[in-house]
Structure 1
Amino acid sequence: MIRQAVMNGWFPRRHGAVRARALVALAATTLIAGCQSVIEQTYEPTVSPSSNPQIVEEVQKNDPRAQLGAREHPRIVASYGGEYRDAKTERLVARITGALTAVSENPQQSYRITILNSPAINAFALPGGYLYVTRGLLALANDASEVAAVLSHEMAHVTANHGIQRQQREEAEVIASRVVSEVLSSDLAGKQALARGKLRLAAFSRNQELQADVIGVRMLGEAGYDPYAAARFLDSMATYSRFSAVDPEADQSLDFLSSHPNAPQRVDLARRHARAFGPEGTSGDRGRDYYLAGIDGILYGDSPQEGYVRGQTFLHGQLGIRFDVPTGFQIDNKAEAVLATGAGEVAIRFDGIADTSRRSLTDYIASGWVTGLKPDTIRPITVNGLEAATARASADRWDFDVTVIRFGERIYRFLTAVPKGSSALEPTANQLRTSFRRMTSGEVQSLKPLRVRVVTVRSGDTIATLAARMMGTDRKLDLFRLINAMQITSTVRPGDKVKIISE
């Protein structure tokens, strides 16, 4: 339900094939190959917001389906780690939204803006004026006009009633799918009909995104912001996607059934519409100084409730545990689990469950939650003084190592997946399990969250010396350039303000 309602209109998703295949194996999820056809779609630039915007009160009174926003709001907040509370940052976002609302073609539209306590780079809208932006996005942006570009795009979704239209279209496709499966006797004919329905839905969604882009750029310019900020931040997003990918050479473009046009197309369209306000660099305010002041000190990366990633190490002070992944692996700290992926299609999943039964760990492994378990491989072990057990499993073209460790009132679980027959299984799983241990009291006390710190460049500072002050990453120079939107040829001058990541 949430995936259907949320409009991730701004952000290209990563499609690194290695990462996807390995993590899907861990989740025991079936992949269905999509249709590879290409259809032509027309682009109509003369669009405008709906003349009948649905604000929260009207939604609840007139259209039961449009109560989706109010109903889904608590779930959205919970799934993104709650709301991020910081008065200074909240005032900053409210200031930007107020400027955009004043130039909206539907100024009576009301909005509820929530900063989500998530390091993810995202923003989206729900029907009824619910807007969401993550603290991760605020940390990546470099001025007010870039955040205004994101918010104006999402406000356009609301004023154009895209949420309601999208839900109605998806409901129609569900009904059509049922008819196809029940009426058509030919499997081939049925698959072709379903594929055509998906293509129509994908084209519809992409047109919504392009409409929101056009409306958003117009709002940017009329609010006095730099109208080229949309194109600029889309470029930053593409750079972030490449930086975050496990396989930098993997295809970063969107697949055809994605609901969004690819980034190069959108950058080109955004620049084309921005030219209506004048050449780049000649119109609009970026609002850099007050923006940087508003995000100075904002939490960066993981929160204490989620635990922290420091290079190749995961640490959770509240739970008192830590472990290391092999060199070259990338850790992705999700709300439901810690995931890590490395070369050779190797993937790791780590999570924990409440230990209510206190049964033996060998019995726990054999209790039916592991698909393809090989019972004769189950054995008890000890990990740094803690009770543990391991086993092997095999399913489809994957081999798995399962390791469970009891600590306190929880059972912690490592699941390592490799392609069938790979020699990487034992060394990877062994490094994980042997690195798992209790944190010392000193380690817990010294563990602090990372934050964005805005610093002023001094005489003698260079990009290299500033990047050396970055914490929480082995790729200090790359991350410094990324969060400051700097190119290889960029330089700094005394008096410039830049962002670094530190405690």
Structure 2
Amino acid sequence: MNGLIKNAYAVFTVVTLIVACARNPVTGKKQIVLMSEQQEIAMGQQADPEIVATFGLYPDSAIQRFINEKGKQMAAISHRPALNWTFRVLDADVINAFAVPGGYVYFTRGILANMNNEAQFAGVLGHEIGHVTARHTVSQQTRQVLGQIGIIAAVIAKPELAQFAEAASQGLQLMYLKNSRDAESQSDELGVEYSSKVGYDAKEMAKFFQTLDREMAYKSGNQRLPEFLSTHPDPGNRYTTVTNLATQWQTTNNKTNMTINRNSYLRMVNGIVYGEDPRQGYRENNVFYHPELKFQFNTPAGWQYQNTPQQVMLAPTDGAAMLMLSLGKGNTPREAAQNFIQAAKLQVTESRDITVNGLNAYALVGSQMQQDQSGRSVPAVTAIIYFIQYNNVIYQLIGASTPANFSTYAGMLRPYMDSFKALTDASKINVKPERIEVVTVSRNQTLKQLFESYKLPAARFEELAIMNGMQQTDNLTTGMLVKIVVKR
């Protein structure tokens, strides 16, 4: 959470869509869609700043130049070269890549750290460009709107808590749309076609899918963004399918010695931040620390955890409640409270000035109302909200639940909200992130032996093997480059 730049209350956008029949740029066939190309582009233009504000851009000019160069090169030979394509690297540790309509393609630093050559990157790049050129998100949204008129999709936690969740905004929902199996198969085909046309060996994309499968099997817990494979349903045996497609393309076009570029890619990602960047906030022993903004607060044990530049959000596994920290809008706690009440249309039942560990604050309890089936106005969600003034910033801490659960969670959440205070512990402030360090193999040995020679924790050997796209028993030869992880 680096900056805390938006409010917690919901941003709901009503979009008027006009049914139209358009020719698909890839297939050439006519299809029913609910928006024109101009509307599609406008959708991407609206989503892009929300996505950037939510996750931040990774500050590495060399990597950004690389993704721009490769992206523009591939877009030029795609089915929609005239789009104003944009390619970005997000400062997020989750392993994901995605695209939104209008030509916006995003890679996280997490997925870049787990790739092992340019060909793997090119294959995924082609796959994501394929989603845009074939208008998959537009088609998917069309199917959802046509089939679910009047239904609002649920977001973080229970649907009733959507009004307090930033993920309710339309732009961010585009990231979470799952594509159909047919769309995924078509994008795999386009990924092979596009990456092969610019000279890369698309069989490496198939190998990266194996890495993703291993990663998904190895990891557990929750991420800030959906994992690549969770938003890209697996159409059967993907490795075999993509390998066959790549072989067929190379045979048909009489191409051999396709580009892989392992060493150059590894040198490029040398030094990239790996995993959560603690400088932007981290949780340790159920305490959330923010070294840059210098605050801390206690968090419930066992709750799911998300930390983005906009907010810190926690929820139990059943989604029945939520604890969220974000930035208030106002110069004083009372002013921020009034702005929130108006924006969220809260019905306030309690409000008072308080202090939280010596900090001026304002507390309220309120409900957001909705009409039931009989037309009566009833609470939809109830929340305790603190507006705390600290270092000339108003932080708002929200403890929310459905009214039925509020009596259970109200008493439980207050102590966590009361724990907000200044962070002064130098050991918690002066933390360093883990980074990829590319090392040269000095002698013939197995990958496991190399990890042992660098005194890396044995508990992380499998994680690091997956990151390298290898098995621990794989034999290394002198001069090979391998990725390890160090703190610096």
Normalization by structure 2: what TM-score? Answer: 0.63
**Shift in Å, 1:429:** 3.5
1:124 deviation in Å? Answer: 3.2
Tell me, yes or no, if structure 1 residue 348 matches structure 2 residue 308.
no
Q: Which residue type is aligned with residue 502 of structure 1?
A: K
Equivalent in the alignment of 2:310: 336
SS in 2 for 1:91: helix
Shift of 1:332: 1.4
Equivalent residue in structure 2 for 1:402, among 367, 384, 394: 384
- Higher deviation after alignment, 89-98 or 490-499: 490-499
Pairing 1:463–2:435 present: no
Query: What amino acid is the match of 2:296?
Result: R
- Equivalent residue number for residue 234 of structure 1: 209
Deviation for aligned residue 1:491: 7.2
Q: CA RMSD in A?
A: 5.4
Percent of residue pairs bearing the same amino acid type: 24
1:413, CA displacement in angstroms? Answer: 0.6
Shift of 1:289: 1.1
Aligned residue among 18, 24, 45 for 1:71: 45
For residues 203-227 of structure 1, the C-alpha deviation after alignment (integer angstroms, 9 at most, x for no partner) is 9954333212112123334544332
Aligned pair partner of 2:187 in 212, 220, 229? 212
1:286 positional shift: 3.2
Partner of 1:289: 263
**Alignment length, in residue pairs?**
415
1:50-81 deviation per Cα after TM superposition (whole angstroms, max 9, x unaligned): 579xxxxxxxxx96435436733653554444
8 Å Cα contact 2:203/2:242 also seen in 1: yes
Which runs of 5 or more structure 1 residues have no equivalent in the other structure? 1-25, 30-46, 53-61, 179-201
User: Which ranges in structure 2 are unaligned for 5 or more consecutive residues?
Assistant: 1-7, 12-23, 30-35, 151-176, 369-377
For 1:270 and 1:411, locate their aligned partners in 2 and report how far apart those are by CA, in whole Å: 49
Letter aligned with residue 261 of structure 1: P
Q: What's the secondary structure of 1:142's corresponding residue?
A: coil
**Per-residue deviation, 1:229:** 2.7
Cα shift readout 1:359-417 (whole Å, capped 9, x = no counterpart): 49999999996979875xx8887644445677888999999883626232313314265
Q: Does 1:500 align with 2:482?
A: no
Alignment of 1:114 with 2:100, yes or no, is no
| Matched position secondary structure for 1:226 | coil
Alpha-carbon distance in 2 for matches of 1:370, 1:465: 61
2:15: which partner in 1? none
- Paired position in structure 1 for 2:62: 88
Contact 1:246–1:342 (CA<8 Å) still a contact in 2?
Answer: no
- C-alpha separation between the residues in 2 aligned to 1:91 and 1:76? 22
Q: Quick check: 343-352 or 391-400, which moved more? A: 391-400
Deviates more, 1:429-438 or 1:393-402: 393-402
Contact persistence 1:116–1:134 (CA under 8 A): yes
What does 1:273-284 correspond to in 2, within 5 Å? 273-276=245-248, 284=258
Normalising to structure 1: TM-score of the pair?
Answer: 0.61
Cα distance change, pair 464–433 in 1 and its aligned pair in 2 (3 A): farther
Which residue in the other structure is 1:484 paired with? Answer: 468
Distance 2:113 2:361 in 1: 40
- SS of equivalent to 1:452: strand
Task: State whether structure 2 residue 404 is matched by structure 1 residue 432.
Answer: no
Q: How does 1:88-237 map to 2 (within 5 A)?
A: 88-97=62-71, 100=74, 111-162=85-136, 169=142, 173=146, 177=149, 205-237=180-212
1:446 corresponds to which residue? 430
3-state SS of 1:293 partner: helix
Shift of 1:291: 0.8
Give the AA of the match of 1:212: S
For 1:500, what is the secondary structure of its paired residue? Answer: strand
Q: How does 1:23-34 map to 2 (within 5 A)?
A: none
Q: Which residue of the partner structure matches residue 262 of structure 1?
A: 234
CA displacement at 1:458 relative to structure 2: 5.8
CA distance in 1, matches of 2:314, 2:465: 24
Sort the Cα spacing of 1:208 and 1:479 in 2 relative to 1 into closer, same or farther, 3 A: same
The one-letter code sitting in structure 2 at the alignment partner of 1:49 is: V
**Residues 57 and 91, structure 2, Cα contact 8 Å, conserved in 1:** yes
- Return closer, same or farther for 1:158/1:384 CA change in 2, 3 Å cut-off: closer
Q: Which residue of 2 aligns with 1:49?
A: 26
